[in-house]
């Protein structure tokens, strides 16, 4: 096992978040069983007071999860020089079987936390807290994910072996390899362009439709998630080639390095922000038929849609710019 301030911080943060959510889950079960907004009992008053405390703790917990995700990727990138065969975060994640599942679970928790925070914010705007059971039921579904993430991340760091020769990004993200990564890498530029800009167009149309007609919030979220997936696929199969100026280098992590002007941060940050905002917009817009929430949905959902569209456009503009300014020329781009 490697001991470093970043690793210790990641383990500690995950442990604290897991403990906080376990405590919150006990409260969530109590709310699901005994919440009655029409009651003036002492129990109901205590539940109402405690829900603000629990909500504050969960806001900090999910914010910490975002920081944990960023630190996890940064730590993996910074440790690439400590393992034979590792050129970037890809090699570090390949050190054992726990690296990649931990990363994917952190991303899933980040987006799930975004949805919960949107529900919580909207619920607090209603005088009768109409979503209190919905949001705490969702919390009970998130808790096992957080506990599993703590377990997997701990196993990942505990089982790091410096004597292991790991595989580099060239062997994983290669058209000749086997697996999902190689399948994505083997997409032609034409397929990647159609998928990314096509999903982006559908996203823009659905967002505009919602802003004009106040309809289709869930559809906008669905297109937002689709745009996120196709964007990641395009970064691997197409955009990264122009950033590296190499026709066979498909790694999604090397673009985070200083040698490539930290291009990855200019793409991933607006993309993740845009996707989280799109999910939040769809989550809020779904509840517009509840009388106590109607006015709040009318105010906040369009703002979230608008912000999501802005950040998605920033991503598409930057992605296009990185390709346009590159010295790499691929004659078979439409083949």
Residues 176 and 312 in one domain: yes
The answer on pLDDT for 178 being more than 70 is: no
CB 284 within 8 A of CB 297: yes
Alpha helices in 180-262 (DSSP H): 180-185, 189-213, 217-234, 240-244
Cα angle for residues 191, 204, 280 (degrees, 5° grid): 110
**Domains identified in the chain, total number:** 2
Domain boundary among the residues 167, 184, 212 is at 167
Residues 185 and 58 in one domain: no
**Cross-strand bridge partners of residue 200:** none
Q: Are residues 155 and 67 in the same domain?
A: yes
Instruction: From 136, 167, 198, give the residue that closes a domain.
Output: 167
Please tell me whether residues 134 and 258 are part of one structural domain.
Answer: no
Same domain, 131 and 5: yes
Beta bridge partners of 84: 165
Of the residues 145, 167, 189, which one is the last residue of a structural domain?
167
H or E segment to which residue 261 belongs? none
Residues 253 and 289 both lie in one domain: yes
136 and 255, same structural domain?
A: no
pTM beyond 0.95, yes or no: no
Do 92 and 130 sit in the same domain of this protein?
A: yes
Helix-helix angle 189-213:263-285, to 10 degrees: 40
The CA distance from 121 to 116, in Å, is 9
User: Considering the chain, what is the average pLDDT of its residues?
Assistant: 89
Domain residues for the domain of 296 are 168-335
Span 261-274, mean pLDDT? 94
Beta carbons within 8 Å of 246's beta carbon, 6+ residues apart: 328
Angle at 272 between CA 271 and CA 274, to 5 degrees: 65
- Residue 150 confidence (pLDDT) above 80: yes
pLDDT at 36 over 70: yes
237 plus 180 within the same structural domain: yes
Residue 163 and residue 173 share a domain:
no
Q: Is the pLDDT of residue 42 over 70?
A: yes
User: Residue 171's pLDDT is what?
Assistant: 64
Q: Is the pLDDT of residue 215 over 70?
A: yes
Please state the rounded mean pLDDT for residues 160-186: 70
Cα→Cα distances 271→31, 136, 182, Å: 35, 28, 22
172 and 148 in a common domain = no
Query: What is the model's pLDDT at position 334?
Result: 46
Angle, helices 42-78/5-34, rounded to nearest 10 degrees:
160
Which pLDDT value is given to residue 44? 87
Residue 139 and residue 255 in one domain = no
Q: What's the whole-number mean pLDDT along residues 152-166?
A: 86
Quick check: 265 and 218 in contact, CB under 8 A? no
């Amino acid at each position: 096992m490697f001991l470093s301030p970043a690793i210790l911080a990641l383990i500690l943060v995950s442990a604290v978040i897991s403990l906080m959510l376990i405590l919150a889950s006990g409260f969530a079960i109590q709310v699901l069983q005994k919440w009655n907004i029409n009651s003036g009992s002492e129990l109901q008053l205590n539940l109402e007071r405690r829900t603000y405390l629990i909500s504050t703790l969960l806001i900090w917990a999910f914010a910490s999860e975002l920081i944990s995700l960023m630190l996890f990727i940064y730590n993996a990138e910074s440790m690439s020089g400590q393992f034979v065969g590792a050129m970037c975060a890809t090699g570090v994640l390949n050190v054992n079987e726990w690296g990649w599942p931990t990363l994917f679970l952190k991303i899933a928790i980040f987006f799930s936390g975004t949805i919960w925070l949107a529900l919580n914010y909207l619920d607090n705007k209603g005088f009768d807290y109409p979503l209190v059971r919905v949001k705490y039921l969702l919390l009970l579904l998130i808790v096992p994910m957080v506990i599993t993430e703590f377990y997997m991340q701990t196993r990942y760091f505990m089982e790091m072996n410096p004597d292991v020769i790991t595989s580099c990004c060239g062997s994983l993200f290669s058209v000749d390899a086997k697996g999902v990564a190689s399948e994505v890498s083997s997409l032609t530029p034409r397929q990647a362009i159609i998928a990314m800009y096509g999903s982006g167009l559908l996203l823009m149309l659905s967002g505009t439709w919602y802003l004009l007609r106040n309809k289709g919030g869930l559809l906008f979220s669905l297109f937002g998630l689709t745009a996120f997936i196709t964007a990641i696929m395009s970064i691997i199969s197409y955009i990264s080639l122009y950033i590296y100026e190499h026709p066979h280098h498909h790694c999604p992590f090397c673009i985070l390095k200083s040698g490539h002007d930290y291009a990855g941060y200019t793409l991933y940050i607006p993309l993740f922000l845009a996707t989280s905002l799109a999910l939040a917009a769809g989550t809020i817009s779904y509840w517009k038929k509840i009388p106590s929430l109607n006015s709040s949905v009318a105010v906040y959902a369009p703002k979230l849609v608008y912000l999501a569209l802005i950040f998605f456009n920033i991503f598409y503009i930057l992605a296009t710019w990185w390709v346009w300014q590159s010295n790499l020329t691929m004659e078979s781009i439409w083949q």
